[in-house]
Amino acid sequence: MQYPDYYQVLGVARDAPARDIKKAFRRLARQYHPDISKEPDAEKRMKEINEAYAVLSDPEKRAAYDQLGQNYRPGQEFRPPPDWDAGFEFSSKGFSPEETTDFSDFFAELFGQMHSARRGGGGFHARGQDHLAKVFLDLEDAFTGAVREISLRAPKMDAAGRVHVETHTLSVKIPKGVREGQLIRLSGQGEPGIGGAPSGDLLLEVHFNPHPRFRVEGRNLHLDLPVAPWEAALGAIIPLDLPSGPLKLRIPAGAQHGRQLQVRGKGIPGDPPGDLILDIRIVVPPADTPRARELYETMARELAFDPRQRN
């Protein structure tokens, strides 16, 4: 376990007043907000920033951190001395236990004890907390089911009352027919209960990895379907490879660019199954040979067609 430099993370001096710490945090929180930041490591940086702010914005935690840090350099291996927290009274305001679980082992070791001290007393019973984890699947997995390894980090108290973050891995068989955003509730797989109380549940939130061809909305699959002008004009039977298997699709004669075709029941399986929704995209072949030019010139001459005069 290494001693982190929270002041360096927030870019403030060690004697910075609380208002400067808040100002620095807000600037960084905007810069690294994981929903909009273009920085490649935004999520990791945001966790570090949150952790630094959770400590430095709390006078008691900051004082304890400063006292501990007198003999440590950033990055140096760190073990807290016994009873290091005597005389301090930590609060947990601001950041949720879910968020602090993502913080470093250093934070869990030092400040996690405040949770355990409150929850671990004699005769105390409490159901374990539910855990929420994301699981990323390929679209094809919704048609066949899948097995995914899921690693979970959870705080765990040892016999001495110290809190460590422990990682455990579950191999979960995901059923077919799952949808984007759906929750799979695995009973009793969350945080262990205290004093013999039952464990919490593990909730897996399903997300699909972006697919190179299909877009998913609920159980429906959307596909941009490129067609040649003569296929659109004359109608055609087009072979398609779908996650559910091959399909021969009939394009009606006179189909226009942007028209939607709907094939019922060919989306993600379920009761009812989703649909396949195709957006026709007419692709014009290039006039890059004498013969191609001749064909276009014949059409221009013989077809009384002005696309700007259509109803």
What is the nearest approach in angstroms of other proteins to the Cβ of residue 109?
18
Q: Is residue 265 involved in binding other proteins (CB under 8 A)?
A: no
In angstroms, rounded to a whole number, what is the distance separating the alpha carbons of residues 139 and 174? 12
300 burial level (CB within 10 Å; 0-12, 13-18, 19+) = exposed
Q: Which is nearer to other proteins, 68 or 146 (CB)?
A: 146
Q: Which of 10, 85, 113, 129 binds other proteins (CB under 8 A)?
A: 129
130 binds other proteins (CB under 8 A): yes
Beta strand 220-227 pairing with 276-282: parallel
Q: Residues binding other proteins: what is the number (CB under 8 A)? A: 50
CB of 308 to other proteins, least distance (A): 28
CA angle 289, 295, 299 (to 5 degrees): 145
Which residues between 179 and 208 bind other proteins (CB under 8 A)?
Answer: 179, 181-187, 189, 200, 203-205, 207
Task: Let me know the angle formed at the C-alpha of 114 by 109 and 118, rounded to the nearest 5 degrees.
Answer: 135
41: CB partners within 8 A, 6+ apart? none
Q: Is 175 in the site for other proteins (CB under 8 A)?
A: yes
Answer for the pair 164, 237: CB distance below 8 angstroms, yes or no.
no
98 binds other proteins (CB under 8 A): yes
Per-residue binding letters, 131-170, with other proteins (x by CB under 8 A): -x-x-x--------x--------------------xxxxx
Asked whether position 52 contacts other proteins by CB under 8 A, the answer is: no
Is 199 within 8 Å of 128 (Cβ atoms)? yes
Min dist CB 291 to other proteins, Å, is 37
Q: Which part of the chain contacts other proteins (CB under 8 A), choosing from 73-81, 82-90, 103-111, 175-183?
A: 175-183
Nearer Cβ to other proteins (251/280)? 280
Specify whether the CB–CB gap between 121 and 191 falls below 8 A: no
Indicate which single residue of 1, 16, 172, 282 sits in contact with other proteins (rule: CB under 8 A): 172
18 near other proteins (CB under 8 A):
no
Closest alpha carbon to 114 in 78, 183, 61, 38: 61
d(CA 129, CA 188): 10
Q: Computed over its alpha carbons, how large is the radius of gyration of the chain? A: 29
* Between 16 and 236, CB nearer to other proteins: 16
Q: By the 8 A CB rule, do 125 and 197 touch? A: yes
Closest approach, Cβ 199 to other proteins, in A, equals 13
Which residues here bind other proteins, judged by CB under 8 A?
25-26, 29, 34-36, 42-43, 94-98, 129-130, 132, 134, 136, 145, 166-175, 178-179, 181-187, 189, 200, 203-205, 207, 209-211, 215-217
